[in-house]
Structure 1
Amino acid sequence: MYKPLKIGNLTAKLPIIQGGMGVGISLSSLAGAVAAEGGIGVISTAQIGFSEPDFKKNPLETNLRMVREHIKRARQIAPKGILGVNIMVATQNYARYVKEAIKSGIDLIISGAGLPTELPEIAKGTKTKLIPIVSSLKAASVIFRLWDKKNQTTPDALIIEGPKAGGHLGFLPEMLEGISDEAYDEEIKSIIDLTKDYGSRYGKHIPVIIAGGIKNKVDMEHYLKLGADGIQVATKFVTTEECDADIKYKQAYLDCKKEDIIIVKSPVGMPGRAIRNEFVNKTLEGPIPVRRCHNCIKSCNPVDTPYCITEALANAAVGNVEEALLFCGANAYLEQKIRTVKEVLSDFF
């Protein structure tokens, strides 16, 4: 039996967060729909303005404008729902995205693809809840220790993203094949124990949310029994009517087989999980020259990057699937048809 997910003064009827998916996969339509049903809807800020006419000329200002716009649109869909944004730590001008989301009245900020050590300082004095993503006890320890020492605070919740997640992964490539479910369960329990320790120091409960490959109620209840407070799900929401992606992107999930889902190298400097297609095959042969830099990732150098991740993900969002990086979770092949958000939630509740 599940309980509502409480993060500070926010209470979600359903203990589920819809994972953030960029570029253009989880925007206001999907996030608003999940929030309207009682979950927590999440907008990805990654190159959020990619489809706007002025994006190529001024990507930063276009993106910031669309952060405001998509939060506004999602609020119209779910006036009483809980909404978050996912902002990658690796994003250029990270602090500006955080401040823009807060100014636009977002309820919570989820941050991964790096350790958000500066997030408490950027958001200081605001009511916005701050939720880091970690994949190991080591990463969680660093977050808790630094936030405690530098800012005398803790995260409002913690997301533990496991090795079966989609998109960027917080593991070394060689680790991804060798982690058993049992071993990772022990890692989860260690992180939950650490979270409880810091929660007791600050006199509050810090919810722990598990992400990565969670496909049904049985999986969810397994993690709740381990001591988690909720789950984060992304892949299953891609093949919904409300998902912001093009139908051809959704169809790629429906058409893929288990063996089509592989680990790829990302310009972000982390491994990622995606569907093997013509584009991925080209990246395995050698770098794909970058025609235009969109200033998206701090660590990216256009001269030696394996490919432009903005172009690859934007192609996915608009349905140009053969020239796209099709990020997905380990269980994407299990999705069989286009459904509604409500129907996907019924798999868990």
Structure 2
Amino acid sequence: MKKNIFSIGKKQVRVPIVQGGMGVGISLGRLAGTVAKEGGAGTISAAQIGFKEPDFYENPIEANKRAIHKEMQKARAISPDGIVGFNLMVAMNDYETYAHEVIAAGADFIVSGAGLPVDLPAYTADSDIAIAPIVSTQKSAHVILKFWDKKYKRTADFIVIEGPMAGGHLGFHKEQLEEFTPDIYGEEVKKIITVVQKYEKKYEKKIPVILAGGIYDHADYERAFSLGADGVQIATRFVTTEECDADEHYKQTYIQAEKEDIVIVKSPVGMPGRAIKNTFLDKVKSEGRIPPTKCLRCIHTCNPAETPYCITEALIHAAKGETENALLFCGGRAYEAKTIETVKKVIDYFCSSCI
């Protein structure tokens, strides 16, 4: 079934798939560039992106800024004209610094969640980069779009709706995760789209709506469009691809996971998150707290004296394949992964007829 093709900034996507940003180090230049080459929009995660730099622990900000350019160059080498952007977490310290850096690196868009990116328009005002908030409820969509309208006289270039089956940090209270069945959340998606349409009318522009969270098979893909979405964001399916930047041991945790291994955890960022149960989570539960080896002051909501563990440390272990000492973020259906695929095969599975 051919889907509506939309634009991100000045570029038109060929297939209605945005690859979700996954950090630390899971979606970098190779994955994002390959997705862009195949006609989708590739997303590099800026979260502690410089963790491989030799001076990361001594000078994390400079290491991250340097790595932003390196990963963007890597993506552009794979897809010179494709759509490549960055995911920036609002909860990061130095958020504004990184926003300016991804613009300087030549990114096509910034998608931003883990909080509401209230001042992102100010940080990007002198550029033509496309900006998109990640929202999960009608309330959050209303708050951010109203704020941007009133304070900055502008609106989103596209919007990502991230549902309760998503991986990593989730924009819901624990009670909402239990409350939102697929049917009930489908109604919430329609309410969010109604909010978006208000600003489409006011600004006389199309604001593509991208639905994310649990998009794993063709039925999910079709359902997203039936709810009124213009495209889908897919992350978990891309982890188990040859081109994913994650260590092979990390990819294998998805393939080996059973349904009961997928659990909701409380992140040091202050949000619930979805991850694969392992010895690290068991240790956190039994010991109550694993003190950080070194605090990088990376998350402004984190108190290093009280945090149950250092999320940067735990995610770096994951990216390096040290899976039993790591936080293994994943989507709600990660256990369905059975083999390593290619990005092309995943995209062809969803929409070979879109191009």
- Which TM-score band applies after superposition, normalised by the shorter structure? over 0.9
DSSP-derived class of the 1:319 partner: coil
Whole-Å separation in 1 of the counterparts to 2:19 and 2:119 = 24
DSSP-derived class of the 1:243 partner: coil
Correspondence for 1:19? 20
Whole-Å separation in 2 of the counterparts to 1:280 and 1:121 = 39
Question: Normalising by the residue count of structure 2, what TM-score does the alignment of the two structures yield?
Answer: 0.97
Conserved? CA contact 2:112–2:132, under 8 Å: yes
Correspondent of 1:298 among 286, 300, 314:
300
User: CA deviation digits over 1:161-189, x for unaligned, max 9?
Assistant: 00000000000112212211111011000
Correspondence for 1:332? 334
Conserved? CA contact 1:32–1:75, under 8 Å: yes
Give the 5 Å matches for 1:303-322.
303-322=305-324
Q: Which moved more, 1:119-128 or 1:218-227?
A: 218-227
| Superposed displacement of residue 7, structure 1 | 2.7
Conserved? CA contact 2:9–2:109, under 8 Å: no
User: CA deviation digits over 1:44-98, x for unaligned, max 9?
Assistant: 0000011111101100100011001111110111001000100000011000000
Conserved? CA contact 2:6–2:13, under 8 Å: yes
User: CA deviation digits over 1:254-299, x for unaligned, max 9?
Assistant: 0000000000010110000000000011111201111200121011
DSSP-derived class of the 1:159 partner: strand
Correspondence for 2:258? 257
Question: Runs of 5+ in structure 1 lacking a partner?
Answer: none
Q: Which amino acid aligns with 1:69?
A: K
Correspondence for 1:180? 181
| Superposed displacement of residue 217, structure 1 | 2.2
| Superposed displacement of residue 216, structure 1 | 1.9
Whole-Å separation in 1 of the counterparts to 2:97 and 2:213 = 28
Correspondence for 2:281? 280
Give the 5 Å matches for 1:199-278.
199-278=200-279
Conserved? CA contact 2:117–2:144, under 8 Å: yes
Conserved? CA contact 1:254–1:335, under 8 Å: yes
Whole-Å separation in 1 of the counterparts to 2:115 and 2:349 = 31
Conserved? CA contact 1:240–1:339, under 8 Å: yes
User: CA deviation digits over 1:97-154, x for unaligned, max 9?
Assistant: 0000001110000000000000001100311000100000000000111000000000
Conserved? CA contact 1:5–1:16, under 8 Å: no
> What do you get for the CA RMSD once the two structures are aligned?
0.8
Q: Which amino acid aligns with 1:231?
A: V
User: CA deviation digits over 1:204-227, x for unaligned, max 9?
Assistant: 111100000011222111111211
| Superposed displacement of residue 5, structure 1 | 2.6
Conserved? CA contact 2:121–2:152, under 8 Å: yes
Question: Normalising by the residue count of structure 1, what TM-score does the alignment of the two structures yield?
Answer: 0.99
Q: Which moved more, 1:172-181 or 1:72-81?
A: 172-181
Identity of aligned residues (%): 55
Whole-Å separation in 2 of the counterparts to 1:150 and 1:190 = 23
| Superposed displacement of residue 6, structure 1 | 1.8
Q: Which amino acid aligns with 2:91?
A: A
Correspondence for 1:163? 164
Whole-Å separation in 2 of the counterparts to 1:136 and 1:268 = 19
Correspondence for 2:94? 93
Conserved? CA contact 2:166–2:331, under 8 Å: yes
Whole-Å separation in 2 of the counterparts to 1:146 and 1:129 = 17
Correspondence for 2:291? 289
Conserved? CA contact 2:9–2:129, under 8 Å: no
Question: Runs of 5+ in structure 2 lacking a partner?
Answer: none
Q: Which amino acid aligns with 1:296?
A: C
Whole-Å separation in 1 of the counterparts to 2:246 and 2:121 = 32
| Superposed displacement of residue 311, structure 1 | 0.7
Conserved? CA contact 1:7–1:206, under 8 Å: no
